[in-house]
Structure 1
Amino acid sequence: MKNIVNKTFELFSELEHCNNDQQKWKIEEMDGIMREMSEDELNSVLSARMLNKICQMIEEKKMSMENAILLLKCIGYCTMLKRIRVYCFNDSLVNKRFKTLIVDEYKKKEKKNEKLLVDFCECYISLSIYFPSGLLSVCVPCLQKVAFQKEENEEAQNEVEMALMALSNVKNSEVKKELSLNEITDIIEYHQEHHNLTHLAYQSAWQFLIFRFNMERSLEEVIVNELHFVREAARELEELRECVDWKRREKKKGEKEMKEVLIIGRWLDVIVHFFLSCQLWNEEFFGLIGGIESAFQKAKGEHRGICKECISSFTNIERNRAVTIEDLLKGRAVDAVVKEFQTQTLNNEMTYECLTFLMRVLRRLKEEKDEMGEEKINTIKKKLFEKMEEEGHEDIAISFYEILHFFKRRYDNGLSLDISDYFVNVRENG
């Protein structure tokens, strides 16, 4: 069987020699192959040369605009699902051409093709990294209009999913409140009542909203207490992880299962961003932490990438001062990390993630002693000590002491070299 990367290059090179229907079949075949690729494989396929070639084929009339849109949407969908940034798009001829196409179609006074404008916007937004504010003012309302379709047939759901995925790719760019926030909250609220979106579409809607958080602090109350992000994210994680047969070898999983694993990864990104921005406390927090821990346990031994992201998520959640050490205990984050620590070895990224989390939790106890009171601190420290003692944490931490310098150099991060930071000392009373 041919290497899938070489097969993709071969199919692409054949496109300019095919008629319209043959091109469509080959593009659909490329789409199926790209969906099976790893992130590294897909990165190796995408290049400015490929994107420029697409533009050249359009200009030389060797590829119809319809087929070019189909191919670019396939590429955009796969890269967004796998969380790949297409840096080569910024300087490509396709970038420049589609900017012009969007503006020209939007400015038409008569015979404006709304469907074509949506296609142009989806191609551009799904692949781009930098978004001129003028184009966002056209593309965001256009895509939100598609996303608010209420039909539930498969074709409509696919259109909604693609529109919301494209919107989710708009991260730290400024999007004016009047262009985005009311509409996206309406889409989320409608789904919560009618369940009309796919898992990926719903996650994408939340991603677009959460990435507006830093620029629009008034969203906090809406996100936390009205739309119940924490509860919804926990429920979605549960549904997704239960759909996957984690015990099967990854290579043998079907497309649907692998898609749901990738959506879990996208949720973890959004959850981290939420906790790094949110200042409110909500009693649902430890439930979401527990949801991440359950995803970690399901993926353990089967999908190391998701496991590492879960541990990293705990560390980022701890950075939020609205989250207490007790929340992390109730959510079983500490249990998961301490147990995982047992299985790690030198030169392992998971070791670094575990050490970082434990160091931050134990340092936080020191910092909050006066604020929480000695009695409460001692109670929490005792719980931590018991968990760590059960797993032989002290012996394990000591065994890693000699390599702390190694981890500090390798990851260029503030790991403590004071071994006492990784121990819990319970003051004996009486």
Structure 2
Amino acid sequence: MVLKHYVDIFTIALRLGLTSFGGPTAHLAYFHNEYVKQKRWLSEKSYADLVALSQFLPGPASSQVGIGIGLYRGGLLGGILAFLGFTLPSVFLLIAFAMWFPTDLAFATGLLKGLQLVAVAIVAHAIIGMSQSLASDAPRQWIAFVAMATMLLFPHPFIQVGIILIAACIGRLLFTQGISRENSTSDRVPISKRGGSIALFLFFFFLFAPPIILVWKDIPMLSFFESFYQSGALVFGGGHVVLPLLEQQFVSPTGLSGETFLAGYGATQAVPGPLFTFAAYLGAVLNGPIGGLFATFAMFLPAFLLIVGALPFWDLLRNNAHMQGSVSAMNAAVLGLLIAAFYDPIWTSSMTSSVHFTIASLLFLLLQFQKWPSWKIVLLGAMIGAFFLS
């Protein structure tokens, strides 16, 4: 039974890793549909709290949410298996692209367009579901609206952190008295505070030790590790934001051409899974398949250490009576951030004709009202795109 438990964690994450197109916001929608709605591995509240924490931490938010769900379900091993299942499909695809495909390969644009429309339907479905629990009254609805408007009018990665912090302060003032004590019971992560402290120590050790060592001795693989680790540790806002940092790190210093760099980024947009797996492509181009795997490890290690380190303390704080109001407002703000991301870039890049709107509406109807599973929606969207949008 224990083995089956861990096999389930890996296989479900693997299925999501093979079918989750559309970027970080879409990934959160896929996770919500699979883990909360269908499997009921997490309550709505615990999922919303986990999303809020991941939005606050640097690194790839959707990957940290996936790791966190694995931690809740199966401890440290569960977190590792959830990460591997969700991440490895795109890693292997991008390493293969780096090794065996020409950099000017033209993708099937119709297929990709169909998958964009799938993302529209999936994210809209998740927003409707999450709004029922995260913005159930007028004050929280206003917090969600202001968060959405602020993110759209002042688009900057660090703005989202400020929005969440301000929402926490507002929630502490407005909602603490109105939250019942039974709401403090929620899923608990099986990671001790001692284990969390070790993970946080390792996060800062790997952040500061390599630069110090490299001052005294030039170690090529350590320098390679440092470049990817720092990129994963110091970026808010997900894979799109890390692009200029990686370009600065690798295009000129390593001799990598801009065309090769952008071809890999285009391939990353085309495959399912997290955008941070762009590291696998860069590592494979520079140092072969082993380099691709090592770069992926370095890129995602800070995100893994941060979520393992933060969750035990977050678990304690979010169940504190004085923190309940803050967390409630933060969750409403996160809903607003998701709506903002739904509009830009998901809606703006996908809805360019009435045909696109019609197809996305069909996919949404099948998902929302006909209760089709998300993998069927992905397959149908891909087929419609390949046959009718090419």
Shorter-chain TM-score tier: under 0.3
Is the helix fraction higher in 1 or 2?
2
- Greater C-alpha radius of gyration: 1
**Alignment TM-score, normalising by the size of structure 2:** 0.23
**Comparing both chains, which one has the higher relative contact order based on Cα–Cα distances under 8 Å and sequence gaps of 6 or more?**
2
